[in-house]
Amino acid sequence: MKWENYTTYPSSFKDDKVFDACGISGFINTDGKIENGAKVVDMITCLKDRENGLGAGFAVYGCFPDQKDDYCFQMILNDMETKDGVKHFMEKHGKVTKEEPIDVDVEGFVSLNPPVLWRFFYQPDEDKTMGNDDDFIMQLHMKINDGFDRNAFVMSAGKNMAVFKGNGWSYEIADFYKIRDYEGYMWLAHSRFPTNTPGSWFGAHPFSLLSWSVIHNGEITSYGTNKRYLEMFGYKCNLLTDTEVLAYLFDLLIRRHDIPPTIATLAFNPPLYDTIEKMTKEQQIVVKNIRMAYRSAMVNGPFSIAVGSVIHDDPTLITLTDRKKLRPQLIGESRDGKTFFVSSEEASFQRLMISEENHAEITNVWAPRAGMPFIARVGTGLLRSGKEEPFEKITLHVDEYPPEVSI
Amino acid sequence: MHKVKDNINYDAGHKVVTIDASPNRIPIKYQVLNEQIHQILNEGYKHIKLINVVGQRFIGAALSGDIRLEVHGTPGNDLGIFMDGPTIEVFGNVEDQAGNTMNGGDIIIHGSARDVTGLSARAGNIFVKGNGGYRCAVHIKQFRHKRPVMVFGGSVRQFFGEYMAGGLLIVLGLVIKEDGTFSVMEGNIVENAIGTGIHGGMIMIARPKEEIPCHFLGVGTKISDPIEPDMKDLEKVLERYSQIFHVDSKELLEMDFSKITAISRRPFASNYCSRSL
């Protein structure tokens, strides 16, 4: 897929003032209540000043309850011929249980120049996966992205979740994919202001792998280091955008290496050594070991991200900013304490509060500390508010102290 | 640009004009809202009430004169940017960069301020009832009678008053309730790198200096106990602050303050030009 074939500059991009930012929004119903996409569309479209019409996307969790055990491949394809090729390739390793075109409003948005958008429900063969379906699907995901001469890209390939993204304003993408018709307990939305790379269909956020989907505002200046590090573990970065490394890093550290999210985020945002000096001895050992083991997983540059995931079968929303909080992020809590909202600007919360049909009563708004994760999980509720100290509420068990060296 | 006019309500008796920033519950573009504010001011009104504000940016940008803006809702980034004289009172939280490069006037915030509040301010007052975010009051300066003053009722985050070259910053570390009663915050009310690169001005923190860890102090700063003239200065500002938020000013002044200033008159002289100059 040639990105220039799929890049359109909206007319208002030329005469409107351009701002430098991306918008992120999302929410999680920790009681598992299913809601349609109308709220998240309202939240992201009111951040119009943060985007320039070169990419937007949505992620929804819990949208296919009837087929929740099948991997749902949401595909961006150049033409129908490629679609047949991809299907043939997938069927070599498993069974396509259902396929359908993604329901889009093509007539209404001809100007977006949309590619073929297709959905496969998929079950890998047991003898191919060797008991680890997730690893197999991850490799399949990489092979499809890499193997079809840039004509086929996977938007998402998780269970009971889907990503919808494209090159346009957020309100266009929302109407194009009919986002309001889908229902889920967790929603993420992103509107893009591309800085270093072109706006394109496959380069829009969220970036997804398995059940991970990442929306990001900022820049990952350590992209090269992270990319080379991830290549050692079989991840291929070929979407021309820095954010994809974050999706793969979360998959590597939290799913494959089974590190708790609070510790994994310390690997992305390791404390400075003068901060480490002031910690207790156990904490110092932990943080220094993380710094050494995951040196190349450190994420540098300004960023504010929200990550949707399913960790050990529990849908979880994680948000994170860089160590100096160079990009904005706010968390809102509903009056009943069951729904948590995240956004770049408080305006998104205000938008829901004044709305009649998509009303939400958000009573508690706070800004998480720089570099500290906010974590909320369906079933358990709020795990970390983001206002804690790095090791608050965490018990450390350090069995072996490093040998004392004396000269 | 489409024009919305039905959202303006003239109350001639009270000389207050109300603008609904979200008519039919849909937010209007910030360009339209600011244009409407300008039109109403051109008609001679001095008091504007904005309701249902949803993240519209640049409210009060570069306005001057004796004007009063009341904001209900959440104003967007750069509230009161380049403002020179008006009073903006916000009933809620603000977003980033409120009071950016302001040159005079008051911004009163009955909620919390976010990151980079009051950056590059030249003069004027920012009174915040709640907390501040990261990098508040970066690069503020003063010249003769032009002196920016900012008071944060709660706590502030890292890089408070970084590169400041004048003005007065106050952090009270309180949780102020609706009725004006307050309780003292637990834990640290400031974070590290306070006043890094400071050249002038003064930061007052409502904690005794022993309770402020020395690694919080930024490069080129020193901490000391305030002296008599400093306290007089403080008294004037807190008098005003307590009137606005209905807090007892005597109780505020009874707290122990510590003062952070530049370590010398020109702490970074040798960094920029040779000593022979």
What is the predicted pLDDT for the residue at B9? 86
Give yes or no for B218 touching A (CB within 8 A).
no
What is the predicted pLDDT for the residue at A199? 82
Of the candidates A158, A392, A307, which has an alpha carbon nearest to the alpha carbon of residue A299? A307
Structure tokens at A386: 């983001």
Work out the pLDDT band at B1, boundaries 50, 70, 90: very low
What is the predicted pLDDT for the residue at B98? 94
Gap from A274 CA to chain B (nearest CA, Å): 9
- B263: CATH: 2.160.20.60
What would the DSSP string read from start to end of A169-226? Answer: -HHHHHHHTTGGG-EESEEEEEE---SSS---STTSSPEEETTEEEEEEE--TTHHHH
**Residue pointed to by tokens 């005794």:** B208
Fill in the amino acid letter for A240: L
Structure tokens at B21: 């920033």
Q: Which helix (H) or strand (E) holds A321?
A: strand A314-321
Q: Point out the residue among A347, A348, A370 whose CB comes nearest to the CB of B158.
A: A370
- The answer to whether residue B165 is domain-embedded is yes
**8 Å CB contact of A274 and B215:** yes
Give yes or no for A351 touching B (CB within 8 A).
yes
**8 Å CB contact of A367 and B115:** yes
Give the whole-angstrom CA distance, residue B240 versus residue B244.
6
- Give the distance between the most distant pair of CA atoms in chain B: 67
Give B95's contacts in chain A (Cβ within 8 Å): 328, 345-347
- The answer to whether residue B15 is domain-embedded is no
Q: Which helix (H) or strand (E) holds A288?
A: helix A281-293
Give backbone dihedrals phi and psi of B61, rounded to 5 degrees, phi first. -60, 125
What is the predicted pLDDT for the residue at A100? 94
Give A367's contacts in chain B (Cβ within 8 Å): 114-115, 133
CB of B189 within 8 A of CB of B171? yes
Q: Is residue B132 helix, strand or coil?
A: coil
Residue-wise pLDDT for B22-68, tens only, equals 988 889 988 889 999 999 999 889 999 999 999 999 999 999 999 99
Give yes or no for A323 touching B (CB within 8 A).
no
Q: How many CB pairs under 8 A join A and B?
A: 65
Gap from B233 CA to chain A (nearest CA, Å): 32
Name which of A51, A326, A345, A372 to mutate to probe chain B: the one with the most chain B Cβ atoms within 10 A of its Cβ.
A345
Give backbone dihedrals phi and psi of A366, rounded to 5 degrees, phi first. -145, 160
Return the bridge partners of A96, or none.
A122
**Residue pointed to by tokens 């022979």:** B276
> How many residues appear in chain B?
277
Q: Point out the residue among B27, B57, B159 whose CB comes nearest to the CB of A351.
A: B27
Residue-wise pLDDT for B208-258, tens only, equals 999 999 999 999 999 999 999 999 999 999 999 999 999 999 999 999 999
Of the candidates A167, A141, A136, A139, which has an alpha carbon nearest to the alpha carbon of residue A152? A141
**8 Å CB contact of A345 and B77:** yes
Give yes or no for B215 touching A (CB within 8 A).
yes
**Residue pointed to by tokens 């509107």:** A191
| CA A227 to chain CA centroid, nearest Å | 17
Domains contained in chain B, number: 1
**8 Å CB contact of B93 and A365:** yes
Domains and CATH numbers, chain A: 16-63+160-406 (3.60.20.10)
Q: Point out the residue among A345, A351, A354 whose CB comes nearest to the CB of B95.
A: A345
Give A349's contacts in chain B (Cβ within 8 Å): 74
**8 Å CB contact of B74 and A346:** yes
Q: Point out the residue among B27, B95, B114 whose CB comes nearest to the CB of A46.
A: B27
**8 Å CB contact of B93 and A351:** no
Gap from B37 CA to chain A (nearest CA, Å): 19
Domain that includes residue B129, residue range: 112-271
Active site residue A22: yes
Give this prediction's pTM. Answer: 0.92
Give me the average pLDDT of each 10-residue run along chain A (407 residues). 54 53 92 93 90 90 92 93 92 92 89 90 88 91 90 92 92 92 95 84 91 93 93 90 92 92 91 89 88 92 94 93 93 94 94 91 93 93 90 79 55
Work out the pLDDT band at B11, boundaries 50, 70, 90: confident
Give A390's contacts in chain B (Cβ within 8 Å): none
CB of B160 within 8 A of CB of B115? no
**8 Å CB contact of A347 and B27:** yes
Give the whole-angstrom CA distance, residue A21 versus residue A18.
9
Q: Point out the residue among B22, B57, B157 whose CB comes nearest to the CB of A49.
A: B57
- The answer to whether residue B262 is domain-embedded is yes
Q: CA dihedral defined by B266, B268, B273, B275, rounded to 10 degrees?
A: 60
